[in-house]
Amino acid sequence: MEKIPQDNPMPFNRKLLESESFSFECHPGTDCFTRCCRDADMYLYPYDIIRLKSRLALSSEQFLEQHTTTAFRDNPYFPSVMLKMSDKEDKSCPFLSSDGCRVYEDRPFSCRAYPLERAVSRVADGNRTKEMYFIVRHSHCHGHQETHRWTVAEWLEDQQIKDYNEINDRWVEIDTLFRHNPWGSEGPENPKLKMAFMACFNVDRLRTFIMESSFLDRFDVTPSKIDKQRESDTDLLKFGFDWVEFFLTGKGPLKIKS
């Protein structure tokens, strides 16, 4: 973790927020403006890919090829997708322009949520989740010295994080399945891993696969759901998660036709 300089008046770099507010503001007037958009080690989640590829008018396949790298990072059984920084000397984000972020309305969850970090845990009955927020402080970020105060709820609203949280929660459930080596003795060499990766990160290819193979003959999917998946990447991604759950565990909302 990054060390806080001696002159830093805030005595923490990551702290659980209960009901207290925090001060922060990020705007072009800060002397650190866009410093965090260089040489960043940034994970992309499935919903990030949908938002970014639509913004850039790319297919998910093109977006993955042009803007991401994959590597086995914290999960040895499933690759993570990382945003590829530019080849420039400062390794700036490819979406950084002289005016700031050129994909701002569709920026990834990590850029959107900072300086908050979200953690989710299951409560005792196993059906509900409890969320917690931490405030994270990096020494290069002077936004923490601004005076505007926020509650967590105000920040989430301001950054339009609700849509991301809803689908990221389902992603966490699927990602948890990957963390327990669902591939058996073949490990990550199991061809099912490629199918799962497509379902989670390559939504346009998933659409072609579902609509143009015998998939819909085998699974019980209503015509209205099929229409939604044709039109909406988000609906299709949720369906892709259901499919991954089905073929890894035999459980979940997706059913084979009787």
For ligand SF4, the binding residues (CB under 6 A) are 26, 30, 32-37, 40, 93, 95-96, 101, 103, 107-108, 111, 114, 140-143
Q: Would you state the structure tokens that stand for residue 149, as one six-digit string? A: 């105060």
CB closer to ligand SF4, 96 vs 206: 96
CB closer to ligand SF4, 54 vs 232: 54
Report CA 79 to chain centroid distance, whole Å.
Answer: 14
Instruction: Burial-class residue 182 by CB neighbours within 10 Å (0-12, 13-18, 19+).
Output: middle
Nearest approach, Cβ of 64 to ligand SF4 (angstroms)? 16
DSSP 58: -
Nearest approach, Cβ of 37 to ligand SF4 (angstroms)? 3
CB closer to ligand SF4, 144 vs 238: 144
Nearest to 36 by CA among 105, 113, 87, 92: 92
Q: Would you state the structure tokens that stand for residue 152, as one six-digit string? A: 């967590």
- Mode of pairing for the β-strands spanning 96-97 and 100-101: antiparallel
Nearest approach, Cβ of 166 to ligand SF4 (angstroms)? 21
Nearest approach, Cβ of 162 to ligand SF4 (angstroms)? 19
CB closer to ligand SF4, 67 vs 238: 67
DSSP 149: E
Residue 170: CA count within 13 A, CB half-sphere: 20
Nearest to 109 by CA among 55, 62, 51: 51
Nearest approach, Cβ of 3 to ligand SF4 (angstroms)? 16
- Mode of pairing for the β-strands spanning 68-71 and 80-83: antiparallel
CB closer to ligand SF4, 32 vs 216: 32
Q: Which residue number is nearest to ligand SF4 in terms of Cβ?
A: 143
DSSP letters, 169-185, are: HHHHHHHHHHTT-TTGG
Nearest approach, Cβ of 32 to ligand SF4 (angstroms)? 4
CB closer to ligand SF4, 107 vs 207: 107
For 48, the enclosing helix (H) or strand (E) is helix 46-55
Q: Would you state the structure tokens that stand for residue 86, as one six-digit string? A: 């530019």
CB closer to ligand SF4, 111 vs 193: 111
Nearest approach, Cβ of 7 to ligand SF4 (angstroms)? 17
- Distance in angstroms (rounded) separating the CA atoms of residues 58 and 76: 29
